[in-house]
Structure 1
Amino acid sequence: MASPRQCLFIDDDVDDQEFFCDAANSIDPDLECMFASNGIDALEKLKDEAFLPDFIFIDMNMPKMNGKETLEEIRKIERLNAVSVYIYSTAAAPRTTQEMLALGATDFLIKPSSVQGLQELLGKILK
């Protein structure tokens, strides 16, 4: 039996973490949600060779290390090259979106304001 897919969600807001995991699990009940509250915490988790998430979602605005810096560091880790990495923010200027894609983000997602909106967004990614 295949092991469940894993998702690393990097966000300093605990409510957003729960909101995200609930929405993701409504699409894929077997998806294992892992969390980091900032980029530094995430990179510590990703240093573990045994941990290879299928998806990484990074909040753009975080203390200590923002989404851009976190993305840049993750893309330096060769074994994570095939992992889909999504930047996640409440809003984005087109220039910011282009910059994140150029740095290796799979896509730039705008945070939906409802659970249904988040389920629809994640449904396209997790299916």
Structure 2
Amino acid sequence: MQKTILLIDDDEEEFYIFKLALDLAAINYHCVWASGLEQATQMVKTLRPDFIFIDINMPRYDGINCLKKLKEMEQIRQSTFVMYSTYISDDDHEKAMQLGADQCIHKPENIRILLKQLVRLFNDKTHSA
């Protein structure tokens, strides 16, 4: 079954890296990118993503505030929320988990590590569903 993935990140290059890792993992997916909260809230009105990855370090609305706003939207309550950032402080990790994030993962420098993280995450969620 095809997974629908929404990546919210102010850096579009991250989207292409993310998609490359998904391709390498041979995961059946439809992945879309939003540059921030405003675009993401418009997209989820019609798109029901299985997974929502949110960068913590974004201008205007940081990932924690983005997570908080998105968790208020009824139509995506069943989505898996993953905070995805190069740096996640202990405080941000705790806040994210309290707000309902399912997991926090660091953006790795190596695409093979990202590949392993994604495969593990998708396998865990597929087997627990």
- TM-score after normalising by structure 2: 0.89
Indicate yes or no: 2:102 matched with 1:106.
Answer: yes
Shift of the alpha carbon at 1:123? Answer: 1.0
1:55 corresponds to: 51
Q: Which amino acid aligns with 1:80?
A: I
The number of equivalent residue pairs is: 123
Identify which range, 83-92 or 22-31, moves more after superposition.
Answer: 22-31
**Contact 2:64–2:92 under 8 Å retained in 1:** no
- 2:77 maps to 81
Q: Distance in 2 between matches of 1:66 and 1:96?
A: 11
Contact 1:40-1:64 at 8 Å conserved across structures: no
Mapped to 2, the partners of 1:92 and 1:58 lie a distance apart of 12
> CA–CA distance in 2 between the matches of 1:15 and 1:122?
18
- Please list every run of 5 or more consecutive structure 2 residues that lacks an aligned counterpart in the other structure: 124-129
> Which consecutive unaligned segments of at least 5 residues does structure 1 have?
none
The Cα shift of 1:78 comes to 1.5
8 Å CA contact 1:27, 1:126 repeated in 2: no
How far apart are residue 28 of structure 1 and its match?
3.6
Question: Root-mean-square deviation (CA), in Å?
Answer: 1.2
Runs of 4+ with deviation above 4 angstroms? none
Report the alpha carbon displacement of residue 87 of structure 1 after superposing the two structures with TM: 0.6
- The equivalent of 1:6 in structure 2 is 4
Matches of 1:28 and 1:100, distance apart in 2: 29
Query: Which residue of structure 2 lines up, in the alignment, with residue 19 of structure 1?
Result: 17
Kindly state the Cα deviation for residue 79 of structure 1 after the two structures are TM-superposed: 2.2
The 3-state SS of whatever aligns with 1:24 is helix
TM-score by length of 1: 0.90
